[in-house]
Amino acid sequence: MLAATLALIAVLGKFYARPLLAQVRAALIQNVDERGRIPYRDTVRVACPPQSLGGDCSFVFKAVPSGKRLVVTNISGFITAASGPQALRLGLGTIENGFPPVCFFGSVCSILTPFFQGSFSGSDFFGVNQNILSYFDAGSQPALDYNLIPGTNFNNTDNRFVITGYLLDCLSGSCAAVAP
């Protein structure tokens, strides 16, 4: 009976050991491209001061932690401006040399498309909910450039934006360079 049990274990080991070891090895390998490995979310609230000739207002998010890469997959939020004809531009870029990004078409920014939500009590409301794909390496600081074309005004109220995505671990050198 002992010999039969050993023979059975040997036969089962012959056919099942290799697939079992492959499954264990696959569980130990880290997939750096797996979406949502380290979920990320950051919210910024800014009250842009009224300006007579339009101008910029920036929403600066937290700096990316060292050894990580931030992959932003969505941005959502709302902004207000004084009622009247509006021309505004939104772009997500990075703080460089202490200055917020200036996002024009052709710059290294993700251009966003705001949608008009309506007017109330002297203010026009615009929303953004857009899927994007932007990368920010360790130490860089994502920032949203909110620009009103001259002749329109900010409204000094609460404006809020949320970026969501995930962080990749780059400590082991697993994050290759990303072309802008």
Residue-wise pLDDT tens digits, 90-130: 888 888 777 766 665 555 677 788 888 888 887 778 888 99
Domain positions in the chain: 1-30, 38-169
What would the two tokens of residue 113 be?
């498309």
* β strands within 29-122, DSSP E: 38-47, 55-60, 68-82, 88-94, 110-112, 115-120
Q: Report the pLDDT averaged over residues 147-164.
A: 71
Find, among 136, 127, 146, the residue nearest to 166 by Cα: 136
* 60 pLDDT above the threshold of 60: yes
Q: What is the pLDDT of residues 20-44, one digit of tens each?
A: 666 666 555 655 556 557 899 999 9
The pTM of this model reads 0.69
User: What does the pLDDT read at residue 1?
Assistant: 83
Q: Side chain identity at 171, as an amino acid letter? A: L
State the fold for domain 38-169. Jelly Rolls (2.60.120)
What is the overall mean pLDDT for the chain?
A: 76
